[in-house]
Amino acid sequence: MSTAMIEARGVGKRFGANEVLRGVDLDVGRSEVVCLIGPSGSGKSTLLRCINFLEAYDDGEVRIEGELIGYEKASDGKRRPMGARRLREMRREIGMVFQHFNLWPHMTALGNVAEPLKRVRKLAAGEAEERAMDMLKRVGLAEKAEAYPSRLSGGQQQRVAIARALAMQPRLMLFDEPTSALDPELVGEVLEVMRALATEGMTMLIVTHEMGFAAHVADRIAFIDQGRILEQGPPRQVFHESSEPRVRQFLQTYHDRNAF
């Protein structure tokens, strides 16, 4: 079986008159790490959110391991939104990590990780908590298991959020600017966890502004601008050999800002 983990074909998305995605094609293979980069407002977060159908795309298709997500064929040949239950079944195989963590503030770190195991995977409380604890250990936060999110630093919260997604044993992980809301000194610990995940062979699609991380960890970089993928390829190619002026301009701005 050689189907890609994610297959996006001609994905289009409009918010009113604003065309955010204009026919995006993107494949992510098994165990591949792909970083989406591009200026703000380019549509990279929207694309990511279309992949688990948090955002409904208007045109094109997104397939997860060959299966269309979000729509199903109706008898008249047109497509209609897929049943809520089937969508949930597909989503539980796709882990997602958000820019603002989105931990549930009324549950402890352990509670946050165990909750989906109980509600969605239907594990018994004891088993769920055991697995949750293992996950917290994996992101180095076992000693914070009983802490509420408000007592954790941003970096710790994001690691708990990653543990929450991982505990579901997803087949791929989506990261939506996971370090953008963090203080600079907390970025490293989150990237470290992500790097370890990549090494273990997790399929990852990452929207990020961390160019250094992207250069070292990604198998492939995709540059998005104005709703289109302008260039994609190995980090070396995109970062150093691109002939696309928009890509070079973007990277130049990035370098200028970070040079001191």
Partner 1 sequence: MHPQVILHSLGYLTQAAGVTLALSLAGIVLGFLVGAAACIARLSGRRWAAALGAAYVSIFRGVPLLVQLLFIYYFLAELGFNVPALVAAVGGLALASGAYQAEILRGALNAVPRGQSEAASALGFAPVDVWRRILLPQALRISIPPLINEFILLLKASSLVSVVGIAELTRVSMNIATMTYRPLEAYVGGGLFYLAINLCLSGIGLLAERRFGKAGAI
149: contact with partner 1 by CB under 8 A: yes
Residue 150: C-alpha distances to residues 90, 98, 175 (Å): 31, 17, 22
Closer Cβ to partner 1, 35 or 103, answer by number: 103
151: contact with partner 1 by CB under 8 A: no
120: contact with partner 1 by CB under 8 A: yes
String of DSSP letters for the chain: ----SEEEEEEEEEETTEEEEEEEEEEE-TT-EEEEE--TTSSHHHHHHHHTTSS--SEEEEEETTEE-SEEE-TTSSEEEPPHHHHHHHHTTEEEE-TT----TTS-HHHHHHHHHHHTS---HHHHHHHHHHHHHHTT-GGGTT--GGGS-HHHHHHHHHHHHHHT--SEEEEESTTTTS-HHHHHHHHHHHHHHHHTT-EEEEE-S-HHHHHHH-SEEEEEETTEEEEEE-HHHHHHS---HHHHHHHHHHHHHH--
Q: How far is the CB of 174 from partner 1 (least distance, A)?
A: 8
54: contact with partner 1 by CB under 8 A: yes
Among 34, 47, 62, 96, which residue sits at the site for partner 1 (rule: CB under 8 A)? 96
Q: How many residues bind partner 1 (CB under 8 A)?
A: 29
Q: Residue 69: phi, psi to the nearest 5?
A: -105, 140
Stretch that binds partner 1, among 66-74, 88-96, 189-197, 207-215 (CB under 8 A): 88-96
Closer Cβ to partner 1, 112 or 242, answer by number: 112
Among 3, 31, 102, 153, which residue sits at the site for partner 1 (rule: CB under 8 A)? 102
Q: How far is the CB of 73 from partner 1 (least distance, A)?
A: 23
Closer Cβ to partner 1, 78 or 85, answer by number: 85
Stretch that binds partner 1, among 32-40, 133-141, 162-170, 218-226 (CB under 8 A): 162-170
Binding mask 127-146 for partner 1 (x = CB under 8 A): --------------------
Among 42, 46, 52, 203, which residue sits at the site for partner 1 (rule: CB under 8 A)? 52
Residues that bind partner 1 (CB under 8 A): 52, 54, 84-85, 88-89, 91-92, 94, 96, 98, 100-106, 115-116, 119-120, 149-150, 157, 161, 164-165, 168
